[in-house]
Amino acid sequence: MNTNSWKNWKRIVLKVGSALIAPSGNGCSAHQLFPIAQFIIECRKQGKEVVLVSSGSVAAGRHLFDSPERPSLAIKKAMAAAGQAEMVGTWDRLFDFPTSQILLTHGDLRDQERYQSIRDTLETSLEAGILPIVNENDTVTTDLLKVGDNDNLSAMVAAAADADALIMCSDINGLYNKNPKLHEDAELLSVVDEINDGIKAMAGGAISSTGTGGMLTKLQAAEKATAHGITTYIVNGFEAETFSRLVRGDNPGTMFTPYKNPMQDDLHWLTHTTRAQGEIIVDQSGAGQVLDEEQNLSSDHLVEVKGNFNIGDTVLVKTKDGTRLAKAVANYSSCLMSFISDQQSPNDHSFPTIESLIEEDNIAVLKEA
């Protein structure tokens, strides 16, 4: 059950950013991690399960390379490979219960079978009293395969773990109406009920060279998590007081209230975890069917196919004027759909209708549609 208060949380995903774990951008700081580790221990004492999403592998491995200020991608990957062991080892030394390492890419999260496998591993690890420590598998990622930042990763993990709360620990008290590192008069927002354009306009990028994404990616993460019914916080992990306040049920930073009617698991995964590999353009009556979510989409409504995708990949369904209608799972590859589309002509009905290019159960209508 996802409820809005500390007392009722059974499962928490805690995200610790590079700005916190490696404030100097070089090596892990066990000193900074101590209050967070104490918090994790306290959560577990109170019967709450915790999954840790920790950044810091690149920063931890930096000192091993004679690298310039802006290391190449290849060096960064090697830093992550070397630093990952140090980062997980630093956490592990702070606990007297077992930890595990889970390294993920977006390629894993967007594949239905691998996603299920991630869910099973998290569940089984938590049942066995293990603290899973998750990070992106930076060594093997490419632009197409990566999540790209651990804020979004932590929200995807929180959804996969069916968590009640996501707490993103950073070097800042929460979301301000403008970047407080640039504006002295910035004001902290303690509760955000809706992540609208006004809220998004407040968020800037990261200032430190270690952080990735800044507030922008934290808001994206909050959007994903709250849609799953997960109460989300951005808090200052440098302040020990943050954690005692959380344990008292107080809000020490910015709290994002979860949706009252969370999305179903599979629709949430389609909307917030998968990424469209291509596009299907449909006619007006096809658009109506897609928005109704009550019919399979037949090839009669297919206008055009864009991009390269395989069966089971996620596609974006759009109208001819470019309106984004829905994300959906493709029942045919782009190659086959293009062939079908080429064979169909308004004057020649000899080519048979293909009944379900996408199925009603695999359509997630987008908010803006």
Ligand X SMILES: N[C@@H](CCC(=O)OP(=O)(O)O)C(=O)O
> Exactly one of 4, 38, 67, 208 binds ligand ADP (CB under 6 A); which one?
208
Encode 242-258: b = buried (16+ Cβ within 10 Å), e = exposed: bbebbeeeeebbbbbeb
- Quick check: 105 binds ligand X (CB under 6 A)? no
Of 2 and 152, CB closest to ligand ADP: 152
Residue type, 239: E
Q: How far is Cα 154 from Cα 158, in angstroms, rounded to an integer?
A: 6
> Exactly one of 61, 214, 253, 278 binds ligand ADP (CB under 6 A); which one?
214
**Number of residues forming the site for ligand X (CB under 6 A):** 17
181 binds, among ligand ADP, ligand X, none (CB under 5 to 8 A by kind): ligand ADP
- Quick check: 150 binds ligand X (CB under 6 A)? yes
* Other CB atoms within 10 Å distance of the CB of residue 5: 10
Whether 297 contacts 357, CB under 8 Å: yes
Site string for ligand X, 304-333 (x = CB under 6 A): ------------------------------
- Quick check: 299 binds ligand X (CB under 6 A)? no
Could you tell me which stretch among 17-25, 118-126, 221-229, 312-320 binds ligand ADP (CB under 6 A)?
A: 17-25
179 binds, among ligand ADP, ligand X, none (CB under 5 to 8 A by kind): ligand ADP
Residue 211 among known ligand-binding residues: no
Residue 258, SS3 per DSSP: coil
With CB atoms as reference, the residue minimizing the distance to ligand X is 18
> Exactly one of 44, 63, 146, 178 binds ligand ADP (CB under 6 A); which one?
178
Residue where the block lists tokens 């595990």: 100
What's the min distance (Å) between Cβ of 152 and ligand X? 8
Residue where the block lists tokens 């690890």: 125
**Number of residues forming the site for ligand ADP (CB under 6 A):** 24
* Relative orientation angle of helices 73-93 and 30-45, to the nearest 10 degrees: 50
- Quick check: 18 binds ligand X (CB under 6 A)? yes
- Quick check: 138 binds ligand X (CB under 6 A)? yes
What's the min distance (Å) between Cβ of 63 and ligand ADP? 18
Residue where the block lists tokens 């990763």: 153
215 binds, among ligand X, ligand ADP, none (CB under 5 to 8 A by kind): ligand ADP
Q: How far is Cα 305 from Cα 332, in angstroms, rounded to an integer?
A: 11
- Quick check: 56 binds ligand ADP (CB under 6 A)? no
* Residue partners of 165: CB distance under 8 A and separation at least 6: 6, 9, 11, 12, 13, 230, 231, 232, 233
Residue 217 among known ligand-binding residues: yes
- Quick check: 103 binds ligand X (CB under 6 A)? no
Q: How far is Cα 70 from Cα 17, in angstroms, rounded to an integer?
A: 19
Whether 229 contacts 237, CB under 8 Å: no
Distances (CA, A) of 311 to 278, 333, 363, 368: 11, 5, 15, 26
How would DSSP label each residue in 298-356? PGGGEEEEEE---TT-EEEEEETT--EEEEEE-SS-HHHHHHHHHH-BTTB--SPPPS-
Residues 163-192 that bind ligand X (CB under 6 A): none
- Quick check: 22 binds ligand ADP (CB under 6 A)? no
40 binds, among ligand ADP, ligand X, none (CB under 5 to 8 A by kind): none
Could you tell me which stretch among 4-12, 207-215, 327-335, 343-351 binds ligand ADP (CB under 6 A)?
A: 207-215
Residue 216 among known ligand-binding residues: yes
Strand partners, 315: 278, 328
Whether 244 contacts 183, CB under 8 Å: no
Known binding-site residue numbers for ATP: 15, 170-171, 212-218
User: Which residues in this chain contact ligand ADP in the complex, by CB under 6 A?
Assistant: 17-20, 170-172, 175-176, 178-181, 202-204, 206-208, 211-215
